A and B are shown apart, each in its own frame.
Chain A
């Protein structure tokens, strides 16, 4: 029995020995996988801002995993104050299945509650040997592509929808030509990885493929990380508007008594300094000043939203990604 208490005391001592627990306020942010560095930086900035404003010290706790899994955890009782996701559908589910937020959540903050956004771009190898400039270069017989699987990853879905958006602009109402283009495009994909990071590894570490198709933020990060010109970022003429939606979770902020704090945490993402920080992580932002500062980094292109391309997420999922949907039909055709 003595040992039991000793063990218990030791564990309790180690748990309580964390200096971080000394903060006046706490906030839990659930986020997607690759946003760790981003929010680690933002939390420091926001902590300062909050202390200036209220005098209270703040500790923001972070939880990171795939955003669908995070949504599921929140519905099952993970008492997060805010959700910062990379897929609109995963926040919708918090309303539809969890009843934790109101249906009009997207209208509560500017720009569809999406403080930053990105788009789908290409990463090609040194000197761009296959001369890839736009979507129509990707369907050439000699080009091998690497992208995440649209069946399992939001990232892959965005790329598929971006290609569809391009084809719609190119062929107008000619559905047969659109289908043919998409089928040829999918035919050139050498590896469908299950997620974004996996696709990056396939392209960089295993050296497979001529072009990697993923978020612009990710390809810019990669191009920055390697020596000059080792990899080049290609921005197509048309691409998909990938929103990064955020929301506070009404039921939980009431329980946790963090409503004002959670709202400020998200609103502050729209401030000029925060927008500059976000741009530093290679996300596109709405603030005009920051936009001007980064206009070389983020090339102009035509961005199409999910409503433009497929008439909303619900319709897109049913028409394109459901079992037996357009994606399955096009892949079977090959």
Chain B
């Protein structure tokens, strides 16, 4: 691999222009937009920024967004782990199909997902009409928002775990069974330590998406300010109100969450790759 790289970069000008182009693109497509978000948010000064962030509706949007994430992440953590466990440790008919089905939320546009939930659980939907008889309203209130967010983010944990657990195989767990450990003990002492970092990585991704989801939430939210308006929806609403500074102030909160996510992600990746880096291979590269 290292040789192949060197061959492409033989001529310095090729290497430099490629690196230059990549840097330039990254600059215009990633760095400048992020800088602009913060610059716009602070364009009218710190006090305006603070006013916008502590606005009653913005605070509510932050609270709702964190609340939705706080419900979504544990749900998908349990679901994703159970799913990865079952498809990598057991063989049963329909296993392959199940692995394919996990990817549906990735394949389907979030807006379509939102509409599907609306058609199913809305007042005129199959289940929604029945639920309405018992005065249960799921759509256009926070349970609906949680439902679509869970749907959109459900593959992340499972997708992180499945390749790792397949690669690790089940020998260690089998040894545990032979030595007479209980199922829970095997999970806690063997499986969990093995998948720990992949699991955290999955959680970080799930959380990032749950906080930032716009399309699906927009369909089922009903846009009631101070009630069903999440932070991404709030950004759009402020922007359409001609309150550009307010919109960017809220957007900067989302960007800050995203950057925090990246830091955690980088740390987790570093932890995951440490055993490999510490081997003698390091000298080769």
Please determine whether B237 and A64 come into contact, CB atoms closer than 8 angstroms.
yes
| Contact residues, B112-164 vs A (CB, 8 A) | 118, 122-125, 128, 132, 135, 137, 139-140
Please determine whether B140 and A12 come into contact, CB atoms closer than 8 angstroms.
no
Please determine whether A77 and B137 come into contact, CB atoms closer than 8 angstroms.
yes
Please determine whether B67 and A11 come into contact, CB atoms closer than 8 angstroms.
yes
Residues of A contacting B139 with CB < 8 Å? 76-78
| Contact residues, B53-75 vs A (CB, 8 A) | 56, 59-60, 62-64, 66-71, 73-74
Identify the closest chain B residue to A79 (Cβ): B137
Interface SS, B side:
helix
Please determine whether A11 and B70 come into contact, CB atoms closer than 8 angstroms.
yes
Identify the closest chain B residue to A11 (Cβ): B67
Please determine whether A63 and B224 come into contact, CB atoms closer than 8 angstroms.
yes
Q: Among A8, A73, A79, which residue has its beta carbon within 8 angstroms of that of B71?
A: A8
Q: CB of B222 within 8 A of chain A?
A: yes
Residues of A contacting B123 with CB < 8 Å? 75-77
Residues of B contacting A14 with CB < 8 Å? 59-60, 62-64, 66-67
Least distance between B281 CB and chain A CB atoms (Å): 36
Q: CB of B9 within 8 A of chain A?
A: no
Identify the closest chain B residue to A61 (Cβ): B224
A63 to B224 alpha-carbon distance, docked (Å)? 4
| Contact residues, A252-266 vs B (CB, 8 A) | 255
Among A17-25, A135-143, A159-167, the one that faces the other chain is A17-25
| Contact residues, B73-129 vs A (CB, 8 A) | 73-74, 118, 122-125, 128
Least distance between A189 CB and chain B CB atoms (Å): 24
Please determine whether B70 and A75 come into contact, CB atoms closer than 8 angstroms.
no
Please determine whether B122 and A77 come into contact, CB atoms closer than 8 angstroms.
yes
Give A4-19 as 1s and 0s: 1 = Cβ < 8 Å from B's Cβ atoms.
1001101111110111
Q: CB of B20 within 8 A of chain A?
A: no
Identify the closest chain A residue to B132 (Cβ): A77
Residues of A contacting B224 with CB < 8 Å? 28, 61-63
Identify the closest chain A residue to B139 (Cβ): A77
A37 to B60 alpha-carbon distance, docked (Å)? 20
Please determine whether A19 and B56 come into contact, CB atoms closer than 8 angstroms.
yes
Give A88-103 as 1s and 0s: 1 = Cβ < 8 Å from B's Cβ atoms.
0000000000100000
Residues of A contacting B132 with CB < 8 Å? 77
Q: Among B56, B70, B73, B125, which residue has its beta carbon within 8 angstroms of that of A18?
A: B56
Q: CB of A277 within 8 A of chain B?
A: no
Please determine whether A64 and B223 come into contact, CB atoms closer than 8 angstroms.
yes
> How many B residues face the partner with a CB closer than 8 A?
34
Q: Among B69, B125, B128, B223, which residue has its beta carbon within 8 angstroms of that of A65?
A: B223
Q: CB of B240 within 8 A of chain A?
A: yes
Q: CB of B227 within 8 A of chain A?
A: yes
Residues of B contacting A7 with CB < 8 Å? 66, 69-70, 73-74
Least distance between B148 CB and chain A CB atoms (Å): 14
Residues of B contacting A297 with CB < 8 Å? none
A153 to B122 alpha-carbon distance, docked (Å)? 26
Please determine whether B66 and A10 come into contact, CB atoms closer than 8 angstroms.
yes
Please determine whether B240 and A15 come into contact, CB atoms closer than 8 angstroms.
no
| Contact residues, A20-43 vs B (CB, 8 A) | 20, 28, 33, 36-37
Q: CB of B241 within 8 A of chain A?
A: yes
A11 to B125 alpha-carbon distance, docked (Å)? 30
Please determine whether B140 and A77 come into contact, CB atoms closer than 8 angstroms.
yes
Q: CB of A197 within 8 A of chain B?
A: yes
Residues of A contacting B124 with CB < 8 Å? 75-77, 98
Please determine whether B226 and A20 come into contact, CB atoms closer than 8 angstroms.
yes
A76 to B139 alpha-carbon distance, docked (Å)? 8
Q: CB of B225 within 8 A of chain A?
A: yes
A101 to B73 alpha-carbon distance, docked (Å)? 41
Please determine whether A8 and B70 come into contact, CB atoms closer than 8 angstroms.
yes
| Contact residues, B216-246 vs A (CB, 8 A) | 222-227, 237, 240-241
Least distance between B223 CB and chain A CB atoms (Å): 5
Residues of A contacting B66 with CB < 8 Å? 7, 10-11, 14
Binding site for B on A (CB under 8 A): 4, 7-8, 10-15, 17-20, 28, 33, 36-37, 61-65, 73, 75-79, 98, 197, 255
List 21 A-B residue pairs with CB atoms under 8 Å apart, sorted by A's residue number: A4-B74, A8-B71, A10-B70, A11-B67, A11-B71, A15-B60, A18-B63, A28-B224, A63-B222, A64-B223, A64-B225, A65-B223, A73-B140, A76-B122, A76-B140, A77-B124, A77-B139, A77-B140, A78-B139, A79-B137, A98-B124
Could you list 10 further interchain pairs (A-B, Cβ under 8 angstroms) beyond the known A64-B237, A76-B122?
A: A7-B69, A7-B73, A11-B66, A11-B68, A14-B64, A15-B64, A76-B123, A78-B140, A79-B140, A255-B135
A-B pairs, 5 with minimum CB distance: A11-B67, A14-B63, A7-B70, A77-B123, A76-B122
